[in-house]
């Protein structure tokens, strides 16, 4: 046990910043290079299910992959104040991006989407008992399109989708099997 603690202490002390930009840092941690966000390394995504057994998805252009992407609604935790809990971010992002509020929201997973390259941890929530407040679309210049897909048709919708599908949707599929 003591040897493991010594190894962790060595690893903690070996962290150095290789590149520092407005929103991101590239870090070398004992020879392992990865990217870390400056504001937060936590995000939230929402599997939003309507009473009609539809999943609410979003489309938005993502510059890193130069494509429109099909995604679960979601975003960074604490990107405006830094003190936000993942469930509060899930509520906020669902409303901003889709225009829906969830009367029932529960965390179903905590995942690392690319742990060899980024330090971000994503909290995934299932949202039900939805109530529509506005059309959604995001904030600032996000230009988000809201899409409802019957859960029964989700796989065929993904198969025929013409753009990039975010991996978080594939995680959602495992939680939709019993719905």
Residue-level pLDDT at 1: 57
Instruction: Give residue 158's domain range.
Output: 42-176
Q: pLDDT by residue (tens digit) across 133-172?
A: 988 887 878 789 999 999 999 999 999 998 998 888 888 8
Domain count, the chain: 2
Tell me which long-range contacts 74-80 makes (C-beta under 8 A, separation of at least 24). 74/43, 74/44, 74/45, 74/46, 74/122, 74/168, 75/43, 75/44, 76/37, 76/39, 76/40, 76/42, 76/43, 77/40, 77/42, 77/43, 77/44, 77/123, 78/39, 78/40, 78/42, 79/39, 79/40
Averaged pLDDT for residues 6-23: 73
Whether 33 and 71 map to the same domain: the answer is no
Q: Which residues contact 115 (CB under 8 A, 6 or more apart)?
A: none
Whether 147 and 102 map to the same domain: the answer is yes
Whether 68 and 155 map to the same domain: the answer is yes
Mean model confidence pLDDT for the chain: 87
Confidence of residue 9 (pLDDT cuts 50, 70, 90): low
Above pLDDT 90, what percent of the chain? 51
Whether 24 and 109 map to the same domain: the answer is no
Q: Report whether pLDDT(49) > 90.
A: yes
Whether 91 and 123 map to the same domain: the answer is yes
Confidence of residue 8 (pLDDT cuts 50, 70, 90): low
Residue-level pLDDT at 5: 58
Whether 92 and 158 map to the same domain: the answer is yes
Whether 108 and 57 map to the same domain: the answer is yes
Whether 63 and 110 map to the same domain: the answer is yes
Whether 24 and 77 map to the same domain: the answer is no
Distance CA 40, CA 43 (A): 8
Whether 81 and 135 map to the same domain: the answer is yes
Whether 110 and 166 map to the same domain: the answer is yes
**Using an 8 Å Cβ cutoff, are 73 and 99 in contact?**
no
Q: Give the global pTM.
A: 0.86
Whether 165 and 141 map to the same domain: the answer is yes
Q: pLDDT by residue (tens digit) across 84-123?
A: 899 999 999 999 999 999 999 999 999 998 888 888 999 9
């Amino acid at each position: 046990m003591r040897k493991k603690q010594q190894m962790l202490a060595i690893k903690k002390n070996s962290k150095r910043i290789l590149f520092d930009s407005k929103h991101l840092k590239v870090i070398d941690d004992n020879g392992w290079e990865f990217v870390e966000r400056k504001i937060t390394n936590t995000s939230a995504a929402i599997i939003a299910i309507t009473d009609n057994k539809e999943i609410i998805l979003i489309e938005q252009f993502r510059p890193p992959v130069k494509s429109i992407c099909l995604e679960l609604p979601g975003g960074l935790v604490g990107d405006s104040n830094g003190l936000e809990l993942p469930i509060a971010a899930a509520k906020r992002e669902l409303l901003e991006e889709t225009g829906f509020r969830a009367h029932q929201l529960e965390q179903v997973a905590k995942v690392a989407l690319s742990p060899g390259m980024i330090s971000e941890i994503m909290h995934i929530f299932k949202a039900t008992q939805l109530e529509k407040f506005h059309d959604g679309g995001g904030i600032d210049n996000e230009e988000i399109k809201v899409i409802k897909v019957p859960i029964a048709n989700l796989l065929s919708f993904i198969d025929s989708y013409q753009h990039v599908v975010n991996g978080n949707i594939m995680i959602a599929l495992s939680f939709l099997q019993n719905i």
